[in-house]
Structure 1
Amino acid sequence: MRDPIKQSIEMEQIMSIYRLHAIVGLFAVAIAAGACDRNSSKGNEARSGDSDEHTRAEATTDTTGAEPIQVTAFSEKLELFMEYPAPIVGRSTEFLCHFTILETGQPVRISSLTVEARPATGQAQRTVETRPVRDGIFKPRLTFAEEGRHDLVLRIAGLEVEDEVIVGDLLVRAGEFSAPSPKGPEADHHQIPFLMEEQWTIGMLLTTVERRSLSTWLEAPGRVVSPPHARAEVSSPMIGRLRRRSDGAWPKLGDKVAEGEVLALVESPLLYSAEVAERSFDIRQKSIAVREEVARARASLDFAKTEHARLARLHSSATASEREVNEAERELAIAEAEHEAALALQHWFDAVLADYPEFQGSGAQTDGREAGRMSSLTALTAPISGELDLVAGVEGETVETHQVLFRIIETRQLWITAQVSEFDWPRLPGEIVADYSMPGATPVRRAISAAGGRVVHVGKEVEPDSRTLPITFELPGHVDGLRSGMFVDVHIRSGHADAATAIPESAVVMDGGRPVVFVLVTGESFERRDVPLGIRDRGWIEALSGVSVGERVVSRGAAALKMAQSAPSDFGHGHVH
């Protein structure tokens, strides 16, 4: 869709041209009416004034009456439209040069022009024009000393632009010659005249038709989230009061924390003596039971070893049977397994008990954990490494069970989850290629792969409420502008055309219900072409026919040419240089 603001400005410029032509027309009518009341001598003066409209043609037409030679040439930054009579040795030749800055569509205003004609052999001719005679227009003159073909180099230098245009194969003749008859108007009836001054008024831009890879895209809403393993919340496991950790520090927003680092302590009222005694008794009882089991298993193991050794000696003296020896080996294996299991249980119990020193009855203190008779301290530790994105408590505040106090974000990765409608799902290819853009006044699309991203998951089940399937992309966390929780637009490629003949979307206008473009023929004439359209992709459209690679189409100002084609005489004539 074309920018409505640009289209409005373009239409206003077009109307300004129409108003200018209307004023000129009214002025001409007034002059004609006054001429009717004048005498014949004044009528003769009026007739002589009519020739002013052809001053431009006379200035560029040679003595043979031949039409001026027209040249349209381009450099990287400039467009040159030049008219001149056929050069003859020894005669001063005026070159009428129009220079347009390609990037802006504006004329060259504050630059100088150096023209150099280089013959195949001999001395080069050179002239310098310090400034244009009018905006965009230079009239350099050269007198050629040698006949033959010359290369013409026109160099613009100034604050606006610096570049040179090379016009090759300029033919200089030794004397007068019979020029071929100019083409009749019927040969050019399909061309639309549009003067350079009119092009500058609307800031007309030209774009070269080129080969491009174009794609069709499916747009889906998306959201930026932190991966599950890169986001964690720390909450209080109990009712209590917040306290600083043992080093006296208190976490701040933006702090970097490491996995397992103590963030704060929760002080809860100590379970009073009866409850403490009950829990301590249970723990001690279980501890004794575990140790008894270890002792029993050790005794069974020692007995099994002794019995096995005894039977092995008897068997060697043929006193005990092999069956008795095998039975002893089995009992020994069982005893060893029971002993190992009892030791493992004891080690596990000791490790768990170490996490709760208040039940050890020793009053021991550790970093972040203290034992006492009137309070109990529980450490709040970071489950992952990352950056603190939320600090919701202050020292001394009373907190509730499961109240979220800290949130940690691991910023090295982000996910974008796009929700694709089940109705659009069949349009997607097997390989997922996608861009994303952030909503804004001028959204810029960025390729996910170019940002170092990749597809991590393609949904297998349609969500019942939204009737969509999720596609999840992973991106590095350092991508500029992306933040967890943001909404984005995800563009997923659904079709592709390599080396398509591409034109700017702004070059296409509708005429009689058909898409058309206007192709540059010479500097001040254009041709209307019908263009069947194919793929549209980010400001470019595939032209299935009608234009060729390398041609230049009007990419800004096409609407003015559409109007000009209905009245070409109003746009193609009437200025004087």
Structure 2
Amino acid sequence: MESPPGPHRIRPVDRECHRMNKTLIATLLVSTFAVLSLSACSDHGHEHAADGRHSPAAGHGHDHGPGGEKITHFTDKTELFVEFPRLVVGEKSAFAAHLTQLADFKALATGTVSVILSGGGQPDEVFSTRAPTQPGIFRPEAEPRLAGQRELDIEVVTADFTVRHRLGPVTIYPDRKSADALAAEHDEGGIGFTKEQQWKVDFATTEVIRHAIRPAIAATGTLRARPDGEALLTAPMSGQVQPSGTFPHLGQVVKKGDILAYLSPRLGGDTDLASLQANARKAGVALDLSARERARMEELFKDEAVPEKRVLTARAAEASARAELDAAQGRLGQYGGSAGGVPLRAPASGIIADVRVSPGAFAQEGSLLFHIVDRRMLWLELRVSESESARLAAPSGASFRVEGIEKSFDIVPGRNGRLIATGGAIDTATRTVPVLFEFPLPDERLRVGMAVKAEVYSGAAREVIAVPGSAVIDESGVPHVFVMTGGESFERRPVRVGTREGDWVEIVEGLEPGQRVVSRGAYLVKLAATKTGEIGHGHAH
């Protein structure tokens, strides 16, 4: 009755739910995340017989017997994990259809789910339910009228999409005796991780595919601003910092030339800013008096009341007073004039990334006051080890990661960045070669100065078997993945890894295209594996 499982269909046949008293072991994950502390049996609302099988449904008046099927099937929008007993003509058989949305791997909360029996030269039979009994679990009941070999489909209709899971052939038995005559296959066991657990955590699976990966060279480095996109504004002399309106703050956008604050300097000896201002005013008064005296002497000279020498002396006195005023104003102008200090101007456009001074604080000459960065364009400065430097003939791009952000960032010259330069000499201290890329800011969480782990790509791409890097976990130095063997069962699989490009890792040995691996939440399955190896699926419906 069973067709071979393909890349989108996992179908263990004739397994029965068993050993339900052990399902509480699934609560081993409580110490890691409280939301997983659930009893799979109670979640589904089924009562169970002493041997762990479903007890007869209310009003059905019979036991389904030991046989049954569990099928896992994928479409482009949904994952279906369905359990149902052997189908018998005239008997109601409850399907437990667990539906997961592949967009976020969360439970499908609404929709109509229909069991469709077709083929065999007989009319179609359709059995539907219009809502889940709980998010993600739909329970249509099928009561077939026609025996024989039929095709089984499960159709899902929501407000956003309609999909059909084509599950292949299924036998409709003429009576319960013939259905129970076939021995049930034993559960294959494996690592149990129920759908209810998967839906409540950050969990996802990904199909193993063939993916083009470029040869990569491991590197470390730092995110930097461009040379003209970063500035450190320091105190040009010792003095007190005064605001020029609103005092600068973190994250403030500034333009080159904007006055951020004023610095009132400490002057030598007994001189202070007030003295400079007084001297300038005195020089102004002296100039005014000398100008009046010069004008008076010129009028008296016209009347021949004074000799010419008196006029020349008055003119010289006025010129001297003007020079004194100019000098006083020049000295005062060096310290901001009427504003009361030296203007501190933004040397570059960008955002204020650091403020090291408060209004009214005293700053020593050369101390850092403000750090300004322009993050619109960043530089990725990488260091490649001397042993790998020979492969840097023509870097074709790079990919990097930073702590705290799961995804990697790719730089593709000509598309979202460019190669600035590759170093032509080995750094004698670090024995590395620098490689520099420029790229526009792809994520606001990136900060200038962040340390990165990166790969520099060099050479032509080749097609390999690959999985997301998040699917591979290290166990005592051996890389492993968790392969999905059923909707709620997984198998630990050691693998041999090769080249890594961005979020993808080459699998040299251990996997085949079409299989599915846990790509998010692998560590949680690893925790489940420490306790659930002996309980199989640890869950019944």
Tell whether 2:74 aligns with 1:74: yes
Post-superposition offset of 1:140:
1.0
Q: How far, CA to CA, are the matches of 1:262 and 1:106 in structure 2? A: 50
Using the alignment, how far apart are the partners of 2:211 and 2:150 within structure 1?
38
Matches within 5 A, 1:19-418: 59-60=63-64, 68=68, 71-75=71-75, 76-86=77-87, 88=89, 91-92=90-91, 94-99=93-98, 101=100, 113-117=113-117, 125-128=126-129, 131-132=132-133, 136=137, 138=139, 140-144=141-145, 149-150=150-151, 152-155=153-156, 164-167=163-166, 169-170=168-169, 192-194=188-190, 199-200=194-195, 203=198, 206-214=205-213, 216=216, 218-228=218-228, 231=231, 253=248, 256=254, 371-372=326-327, 375-376=330-331, 377=333, 386=349, 413-418=377-382
Q: Deviations over 1:399-436 (max 9, x none)?
A: 97x89988876665443433444345345452152234
The 8 Å contact of residues 72 and 80 in structure 1, kept in 2 or not, is answered as yes
In 2, distance between residues paired with 1:96 and 1:223? 55
SS of residue in 1 equivalent to 2:395:
coil
Letter in 1 for 2:227: P
Question: Which runs of structure 2 are paired with 1:517-528 in the superposition (5 Å)?
Answer: 519-521=483-485
1:548 paired residue number: 512
CA distance in structure 1 between the aligned counterparts of 2:54 and 2:351, rounded to whole angstroms: 79
Q: Secondary structure at the match of 1:192?
A: coil
Cross-structure match for 1:462: 426
SS in 1 for 2:511: coil
Alpha-carbon distance in 2 for matches of 1:437, 1:111? 40
CA offset at residue 73 of structure 1?
2.2
Distance 1:473 1:261 in 2: 33
Query: What is the one-letter code of the residue matched to 2:166?
Result: V
Higher helix content, 1 or 2 = 1
1:549, CA displacement in angstroms? 1.7
Compared with structure 1, are the counterparts of its residues 136 and 481 closer, same or farther at alpha carbon in structure 2 (3 Å cutoff)? closer
Q: Find the counterpart in structure 1 of residue 467 from structure 2.
A: 503
Counterpart-to-counterpart distance in 2, 1:561 and 1:179: 34
Deviation of 1:208 after TM superposition, in Å, equals: 2.0
C-alpha change, 1:9 and 1:106, in structure 2 (3 Å) is farther
Tell me the SS of whatever aligns to 1:425: helix
Q: Which residue of 1 aligns with 2:536?
A: 571
1:476–1:126 distance in 2 versus 1, CA, 3 Å: closer
> What is the alpha-carbon distance in structure 2 between the residues aligned to residue 415 and residue 534 of structure 1?
28
Are the aligned partners of 2:377 and 2:441 in contact in 1 as well (CA < 8 Å)? yes
Moved more, 163-172 or 386-395: 386-395
SS in 2 for 1:143: coil
Amino acid at match of 2:145: F
TM-score of the aligned structures, taking structure 2 as reference length = 0.54
Counterparts of 1:523 and 1:234, CA distance in 2: 62
- 1:561/1:178 Cα in 2 relative to 1: closer, same or farther (>3 Å)? same
Partner amino acid for 1:155?
V
- The alpha carbon displacement at 1:545 in A equals 3.9
Letter in 2 for 1:470: P
1:439-472, Cα deviation, whole Å (9 max, x unpaired): 44x4543224499432223223334444443333
Change (3 A) 1:265 1:251: farther
Structure 1 partner of 2:310: none
What's the TM-score once normalised by structure 1's chain length? Answer: 0.51
Where structure 2 has 5 or more consecutive residues not aligned to the other structure, the ranges are 1-27, 42-48, 57-61, 277-318, 337-341
Partners of 2:87 and 2:144 within 8 A in 1: no
Specify the SS of the correspondent of 2:512. Answer: coil
Give the whole-Å Cα distance in 1 for the aligned partners of 2:238 and 2:471.
Answer: 70
| Matched residue count | 424
| Distance in 1, Cα, partners of 2:147 & 2:190 | 36
Contact 1:240–1:399 under 8 Å retained in 2? yes
Question: Is residue 69–residue 83 contact of structure 1 (8 Å, CA) maintained in 2?
Answer: yes
Correspondence for 1:40 = none
Residue pair 2:379, 2:436 contacting (<8 A) in 1 also: yes
The answer on whether the counterparts of 1:416 and 1:473 sit within 8 Å (CA) in structure 2 is yes
Q: Within the alignment, does 1:473 sit opposite 2:437 as a pair?
A: yes
Say whether the 8 Å CA contact 2:489–2:536 is kept in structure 1: no
Cα root mean square deviation, aligned: 6.3
Paired residues of 1:388 and 1:406 also in contact (CA < 8 A): no
Letter in 2 for 1:218: A
Give the greater-gyration-radius structure (CA): 1
Q: CA deviation at 1:539?
A: 6.1
On the 8 A contact 1:455/1:474 being kept in 2, the answer is yes
Assess if the C-alpha contact under 8 Å between 2:83 and 2:96 holds in 1.
yes
AA in 1 matched with 2:506: E
- Report the Cα distance in structure 1 between the residues aligned to 2:30 and 2:206, rounded to whole angstroms: 17
**SS in structure 2 opposite 1:80?**
strand
Pick closer, same or farther for the CA change 1:193–1:123 going to 2, 3 Å. closer
Flag the 1:59–1:393 CA change in 2: closer, same or farther, 3 A: closer
- Residues 132, 59 of structure 1: CA spacing in aligned structure 2 closer, same or farther, 3 A cutoff? farther
Distance 1:212 1:87, change over 3 A: farther
Residue equivalent to 2:283:
none
**Distance between the aligned counterparts of 2:115 and 2:130, measured in 1?**
8
Conservation of the 8 A alpha-carbon contact between 1:11 and 1:559: no
Question: What letter matches 1:462 in structure 2?
Answer: I
1:193 counterpart SS class: coil
Distance 1:532 1:500 in 2: 13
Tell me, in whole angstroms, the C-alpha distance in 1 between the residues paired with 2:490 and 2:241.
81
Classify 1:165/1:463 alpha carbon distance in 2 versus 1 (closer, same or farther; 3 Å). same
Counterpart Cα distance in 1 of 2:359 and 2:134? 76
Q: Indicate how the Cα distance of structure 1 residues 54 and 132 shifts in structure 2: closer, same or farther if over 3 A, else same.
A: closer
Cα-to-partner distance string for 1:219-271 (whole Å, 9 max, x where unaligned): 313152440586476876xx899999xxxx8896468555799998999999x
**Structure 1: gaps spanning 5 or more residues:** 1-7, 22-48, 271-359, 365-369
